[in-house]
A = this chain, B = another copy of it.
Amino acid sequence: MSLKAKDLISAADLTKAEVDEILKESDVMLSYLTKRKSPDILKGKILATLFFEPSTRTRLSFESAMCRLGGSVIGFSGNKGTSLSKGETLKDTIKNVEKYADIIAMRNPVEGSSRLAANAAKIPVINGGDGANQHPTQALLDIFTIKQEKGLKKLNVALCGDLKYGRTVHSLIYLLSMYGMEVALVSPKSLRMPEWILEDVKGRYGTNPKMYESMQDVADWADVLYVTRIQRERFPDQNEYEKVSGSYCVDNDLLRKAKKGMIVLHPLPRVDEIDDEIDCKPCAKYFDQAFYGIAVRMALLKMLMGGKR
């Protein structure tokens, strides 16, 4: 089994064998990082970061991963002044960039755009987030973080916050289900996870998550509390937002009720969902995720391009 020359568009495309392989390779990469070694595995290779929607975290993380492997990066952030703003189709842009690079990492506000790009490109395409759809590398770094911090056993995982528009949870629920974890979904009624995703994971893995509306309800159950941002703009009625937002904040009060050993994850950026008094607690793993993310993206770049160790 090999990921070489494949695309990474959706977590749903991955087999368990492939995820196993990615996590194993991420382990190797993590040991390079902790030893501060930068192997020249991808020397002479070029990553194109096409971020039609600006991003600090995901773009810099990919670029860091490529640099750590000795490769180079070209790209853009924001679509102002790109060929697309001159009326070029995404397909044409991709058919040019594939001549300049060996792999593409792309973020685009349009759902499905990464799939389209992957179909047009002869080189591997990694989806770095396509609208509210998927963000598979985030899900892989989330599951790698869980593996490192708790082990890949039958854990209770609560996904909390905006489950409707949050693309990271749309990807993560596939990987959690794949490893047989128990999933709880905690969100305001209006921001529940789309029905078709629930049906898809049920059909594939038999996952049948319970629904909650407050994090208080899952605090003493969860081994992993995965928190996402609820955007004020999602609520037409601002009073509605004020009413619910209090139920989606991790603070000392919530932690007192928490199951022993529970860890808190967040794809970041956070706004008010996690009180910063939590940052120094042992349960806070959301900044470690960023570090694990470099290892996972190094693994993906290496595997998809077929770099040899």
Chain A interface (Cβ < 8 Å from any Cβ of B)? 36-38, 43-46, 48, 53-57, 60-61, 63-64, 67-68, 70, 72-78, 80-83, 86-89, 91-93, 95-97, 99-101, 268-271, 276, 287, 290-291, 293-294
The answer to whether B290 touches A99, judged by C-beta atoms less than 8 angstroms apart, is yes
- In the assembled complex, the Cα of A36 lies from the Cα of B70 at a distance in Å of 16
Given A87-B269, A287-B95, verify A60-B37 contact (CB < 8 Å).
no
Give the residue of B53, B77, B268 whose beta carbon is less than 8 angstroms from that of A83. Answer: B268
Question: SS class of chain A's interface: helix, strand, loop or mixed?
Answer: mixed
Given A60-B48, A64-B101, verify A270-B88 contact (CB < 8 Å).
yes
The answer to whether B74 touches A56, judged by C-beta atoms less than 8 angstroms apart, is no
The answer to whether B46 touches A100, judged by C-beta atoms less than 8 angstroms apart, is no
The answer to whether B96 touches A64, judged by C-beta atoms less than 8 angstroms apart, is no
The answer to whether B74 touches A53, judged by C-beta atoms less than 8 angstroms apart, is no
Instruction: Closest B residue to A71 by CB, please name it.
Output: B67
The answer to whether B48 touches A38, judged by C-beta atoms less than 8 angstroms apart, is no
The answer to whether B53 touches A81, judged by C-beta atoms less than 8 angstroms apart, is yes
Whole-angstrom distance between the Cβ of A105 and the nearest chain B Cβ:
13
Instruction: Closest B residue to A288 by CB, please name it.
Output: B99
- In the assembled complex, the Cα of A173 lies from the Cα of B176 at a distance in Å of 59
Given contacts A88-B271, A91-B276, 11 further A-B contacts (CB under 8 A): A46-B64, A46-B67, A56-B81, A60-B76, A64-B74, A64-B100, A92-B270, A95-B290, A99-B290, A100-B290, A100-B294
- In the assembled complex, the Cα of A248 lies from the Cα of B36 at a distance in Å of 51
Whole-angstrom distance between the Cβ of A297 and the nearest chain B Cβ:
10
- In the assembled complex, the Cα of A20 lies from the Cα of B89 at a distance in Å of 35
Smallest CB-CB A-B distances: 3 pairs: A54-B81, A38-B44, A88-B269
The answer to whether A82 touches B56, judged by C-beta atoms less than 8 angstroms apart, is yes
